[in-house]
Amino acid sequence: MSEKTAEALTNRTICQIGVVVRDVERAAANWADCLGLPTPEWTLTDPLEVANTVYQGEPTEARAKLAFFAFDNISLELIEPVGGPSTWQEFLDTHGQGVHHIAFRVADMDDEVALLKAKGMPPAQRGDYTGGCYSYTDSTEKLGVILELLANR
Amino acid sequence: MSEKTAEALTNRTICQIGVVVRDVERAAANWADCLGLPTPEWTLTDPLEVANTVYQGEPTEARAKLAFFAFDNISLELIEPVGGPSTWQEFLDTHGQGVHHIAFRVADMDDEVALLKAKGMPPAQRGDYTGGCYSYTDSTEKLGVILELLANR
């Protein structure tokens, strides 16, 4: 795909599909069984003082248990929300288990967040992790799915 | 990824993400705007006598308006359900807009459907299209998302 305009996302490779689940250990075991692979260990996202998690404009103690499968062309992230209000918990409470987001890597987080906001898709949650940061976009009404932007630091 | 067992899916490349939307024209226009691309035309799936659509064990007149975006590594399918009961309409009625499925290509549809059924994930809907057939699997409880299997004829 080419002919990108200056007013569009700079990356068109979906790098990750994020699935919110009620029990990450159980979901990871079920996926592993389907794929004929070992069950991955889950990890806990960083606490507020490290992740600087902001949800709907307010800091939140929310964290998540994460487990990953590396498919040939994309990674699958299983997400069990814990500990406080978050886009993950909101999704689980509203929809039950399901695909929470699809993710793109971006070079300039501020530019891309501003671009989406100008198109009527404001940020819903952001945070930091070792080596980078993320921003979820409130795009379900316009695109049918939450977008996650990922940027390295 | 390797070391597949005989009791697991034979393909680990997610080829498609399917998003159920209320209005495929509007969603396609919004995606095109985000991506800086022309809005794709939508197409209507075949009628029952061609598609042989079966939903929850019964033939259905359900069809869908589809629009596609080809990302670098995966295709995005926008789906507006029309015309009768279907897994797409059920998803829209239950969850609203969202990611309905992720899809894998398989060599032997019957074998893979049987494999998933044996693991507690029965088929939810199947049908034919020019050059192939599909089967959606009732896997939301175990995996957090519906799997679609696609096979060429």
Nearest to B21 by CA among A136, A141, A146, A18: A141
Q: Assess whether pLDDT exceeds 70 at residue A144.
A: yes
pLDDT of residue B68: 98
Q: How far is B41 from chain A (nearest CA, A)?
A: 16
Residue A72 has pLDDT above 90, yes or no: no
B95 reaches A (C-beta below 8 A): yes
Predicted confidence (pLDDT) per residue in B4-61, tens digit = 444 788 888 999 999 999 999 999 999 999 999 999 999 999 999 999 999 999 999 9
* Number of Cβ within a 10 Å radius of residue B93: 11
The predicted structure's pLDDT at residue A5: 43
The mean pLDDT value of chain A amounts to: 94
Q: What is the nearest CA distance from B50 to chain A, expressed in angstroms? A: 29
Whose tokens are 């806990």? That residue is A44
Size of interface A-B (CB pairs under 8 A): 137
- State how far the alpha carbon of A49 is from the alpha carbons of A52, A59, A60, B73, B147, in Å: 6, 10, 10, 36, 38
Q: Integer distance in angstroms from the first to the last C-alpha of chain A?
A: 27
Instruction: Give the residue-averaged pLDDT of A71-96.
Output: 96
B46-103: per-residue pLDDT in tens?
999 999 999 999 999 999 999 999 998 899 999 999 999 999 999 999 999 999 999 9
Tokens of A132: 């980078």
B11 min Cα distance to partner chain A (Å): 8
Does the CB of A31 have a partner CB in chain B at under 8 Å?
Answer: yes
pLDDT at position A10 is 83
Here the ipTM equals 0.94
User: Do B102 and A35 make contact, defined as CB atoms within 8 angstroms?
Assistant: no
Whether chain A has a CB inside 8 Å of the CB on B1: the answer is yes
Dist. CA A44–CA B54, nearest whole Å = 42
pLDDT on residue A11? 84
A148 close to A16: Cβ distance less than 8 angstroms = yes
How does pLDDT run across B109-152, given as a tens digit for each residue?
Answer: 999 999 999 999 999 999 999 999 999 999 999 999 999 999 99
pLDDT digits (tens, 9 = 90+) for A7-24: 788 888 999 999 999 999
pLDDT at B6: 47
> Mean per-residue pLDDT for A105-126?
95
